[in-house]
Amino acid sequence: MKIETTPLKDCFIIHDTIIKDSRGYFFESFNKRKFKELTNIEIDFVQDNQSQSSKGVLRGLHYQKDMYAQAKLVRVLKGKVLDIAVDLRKNSPTFGQHFAVELSEDNNLQFFIPRGFAHGFIVLSDETVFFYKCDNYYNKEYDTGIKFNDPTLQINWLLKEEEIIVSEKDANLPLFKDAVYF
């Protein structure tokens, strides 16, 4: 496991050591002890989630408020996405900034997003299977987000807006200026 820092405080890209041979490949996708040694972050994941989406589907920018905030470790099992994290921590030096990383079945990168961030992704391949670990349980009443095309954030989702498919819920999320910050 190799940790790469990002411009956002406490967000990390994880490069796993992949062992390949004639049978296929193997890699350890998470090791709590190694993660703590490399990031100085103690994490206990309690929920795993998986989604399947087709090209152009944008899920996000989501987060949970208050005591239900979640840290996430995300990766792509099949396909390719552009993954985005937005820092919502008022006292952070990177508050209001976002970071994008391409995650795919070919690069096997993982992206760690701590509590206090909004998160979203857009599918760039024909089909994607997306997997993520969370350190807190989902709670519908505390679920919120930021509109994907917020003019303050100016995120480049790499697809034209007419190619982007969002749920009704995501299309009606508040703007960044009206978001609940941490």
Per-block mean pLDDT, blocks of 10 residues, the chain (182 long): 95 94 93 95 97 98 97 98 97 96 97 98 98 97 97 97 96 95 90
Kindly report the CATH number that applies to the domain delimited by 45-178.
Answer: 2.60.120.10
**Which active-site residues does the annotation give?**
62, 132
- Could you tell me the residue ranges of all domains in the chain? 45-178
Backbone angles phi, psi at 18, to 5 degrees: -105, 125
d(CA 111, CA 60): 15
pTM: 0.95
Q: Look at residue 180 in the predicted model and tell me its pLDDT.
A: 87
